[in-house]
């Protein structure tokens, strides 16, 4: 024993629909001595991502489901506080990886990578410079095949991925329309991030608003939400449009998912709908992170985080992903100092 108590959120049942609080149990235990080649990471921040909901289902997907009675899977950023002869990482290194919803992670370091805490605030490394940022970058540029002058529409536009998508498209000389919930988020998109237009799906007819904002149609639709918004945008795409399927947050907690009834618009417009998983671009994260760090430094790529404090607030943080009651990237601070 090394005198450290770890708190973990354990997945104890598979939810049907929206998870209830008893989906997880908070477990405490004392961390044993490290094996040779292991490191102990004290996690600072846990990343909250809509994809986590999918990982909880026992279905074939792009990663195996989280096992029952295992630590809830999540991205993390934290500092190495012990190393038992690890070949790469030593005390003081700051590592990003899939450390799970817990305060400490014992690991052999596989799948982790080091980041420089002097260059950006830690949450940025699980946000704009982490998985959400990479998703935006490669989804827009590679899958969406962005060209200067394209009309780009993004849903979940005030979120971690969406806000980055829209800003990259602006940097690349495109017209950008964001779809988000509520006037506050919409005003943030236009006034803080420089979007050309914003549509408040909670208070506007999306189809009509899109028609006004994009009278010549939409070239790229970056979809984070699915459902009725996907259907509305499909009616407004133009010739050779690209629909990037990044997520479908409106569908993750429903038991009878709804497909895009207007998908035949793909035929009329010779358009493409393509799914993406950011992990496929892992060997190019470095290139993207460098570019995005430069944009952040230049003040051209902004981000904001909503931080909840304490591992016992995990359920609350998780729910905010789906209710939309958050501003920007949702993170959970789990370190206790």
Residues found near its own copies in the complex (CB under 8 A)? 60-62, 226, 231, 245-248, 251, 256-277, 280
| Smallest distance, its own copies to C-beta of residue 337, A | 39
Of 207 and 300, nearer to its own copies (C-beta) is 207
Identify whether the C-beta of residue 200 lies closer than 8 Å to the C-beta of residue 182.
Answer: yes
| Smallest distance, its own copies to C-beta of residue 103, A | 32
Identify whether the C-beta of residue 45 lies closer than 8 Å to the C-beta of residue 100.
Answer: no
Of 251 and 327, nearer to its own copies (C-beta) is 251
Crossing angle between the packed helical segments 131-138 and 160-171, to the nearest 10 degrees = 40
Of 186 and 273, nearer to its own copies (C-beta) is 273
**DSSP 3-state of 10:** strand
Of 190 and 277, nearer to its own copies (C-beta) is 277
Identify whether the C-beta of residue 78 lies closer than 8 Å to the C-beta of residue 44.
Answer: yes
| Smallest distance, its own copies to C-beta of residue 93, A | 32
| Smallest distance, its own copies to C-beta of residue 141, A | 16
| Smallest distance, its own copies to C-beta of residue 179, A | 19
- CA–CA gap between residue 76 and residue 335 (Å, rounded): 11
- Other Cβ atoms less than 10 A from the Cβ of 310: the count is 15
Find the radius of gyration of the CA atoms of the chain.
20
Of 140 and 308, nearer to its own copies (C-beta) is 140
Identify whether the C-beta of residue 293 lies closer than 8 Å to the C-beta of residue 119.
Answer: yes
């Amino acid at each position: 024993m090394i005198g450290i108590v770890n708190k973990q959120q354990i997945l104890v049942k598979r939810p049907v629909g929206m998870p209830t609080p008893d989906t997880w149990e908070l477990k405490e235990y004392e961390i044993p001595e490290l094996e040779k080649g292991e490191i102990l990471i004290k996690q600072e921040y846990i990343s909250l991502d809509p994809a986590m909901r999918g990982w909880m289902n026992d279905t074939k997907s792009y990663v195996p489901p989280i096992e029952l009675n295992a630590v809830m899977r999540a991205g993390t950023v934290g500092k190495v506080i012990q190393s038992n002869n690890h070949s790469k990482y030593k005390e003081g290194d700051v590592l990003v990886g899939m450390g799970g919803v817990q305060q400490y992670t014992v690991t052999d370091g596989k799948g982790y990578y080091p980041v420089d805490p002097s260059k950006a605030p830690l949450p940025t490394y699980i946000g704009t410079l982490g998985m959400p940022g990479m998703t935006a970058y490669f989804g827009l540029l590679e899958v969406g095949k962005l060209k200067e002058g394209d009309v780009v529409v993004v849903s979940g536009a005030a979120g971690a991925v969406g806000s980055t998508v829209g800003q990259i498209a602006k940097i690349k000389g495109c017209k950008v329309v964001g779809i988000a919930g509520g006037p506050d988020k919409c005003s943030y998109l236009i006034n803080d991030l420089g979007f050309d237009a914003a549509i408040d799906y909670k208070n506007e007819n999306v189809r009509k608003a899109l028609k006004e904002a994009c009278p010549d149609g939409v070239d790229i639709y970056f979809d984070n939400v699915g459902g009725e918004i996907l259907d509305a945008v499909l009616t407004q795409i133009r010739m050779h449009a690209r629909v990037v399927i990044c997520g479908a947050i409106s569908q993750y907690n429903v038991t009878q998912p709804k497909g895009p009834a207007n998908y035949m618009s793909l035929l009329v417009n010779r358009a493409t709908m393509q799914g993406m998983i950011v992990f496929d671009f892992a060997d190019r994260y470095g290139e993207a992170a460098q570019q995005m760090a430069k944009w952040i430094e230049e003040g051209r790529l902004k981000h904001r985080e909503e931080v909840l404090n304490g591992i016992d607030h995990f359920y609350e943080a998780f729910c905010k992903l789906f209710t939309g009651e958050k501003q920007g990237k949702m993170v959970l601070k789990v370190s206790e100092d």
